[in-house]
Structure 1
Amino acid sequence: MLRRFHRLSDEAGLPRIRAHDLRHFAAPTMLSANVPLPMAGKTLRHSAVSVTT
């Protein structure tokens, strides 16, 4: 899956990023879209809501 992601990124001319960087993008994106904090934490598989904040 990661190879496919990198291949698609390369084909699109985007810089190569780590898969973990997507998590750092997803969290604030969900919160700015008013996804409830517990739901965002569960989606990111955080052990506690306090990790998400």
Structure 2
Amino acid sequence: MYLHQIVHYDIQLYIMFDMQIFELLVYDLSTNQPIYKIHKSIILLNQLKN
């Protein structure tokens, strides 16, 4: 599993992936609300590529 977090002013970027899942979250820390979210299966992404 890979996890990475970046905080820049009021924005937090959160990236997580392993062999099955890719997830990207962008949070507004001032409201603590997600602004943007991607949650994908790696298997589906690999099928789309072919």
TM-score (norm 1): 0.29
Q: With CA pairs under 8 Å and 6+ residues apart, which has the higher RCO, 1 or 2?
A: 2
Bigger Cα Rg: 1
| Structure number having the greater strand percentage | 2
> TM-score, with normalisation over the residues of structure 2?
0.30
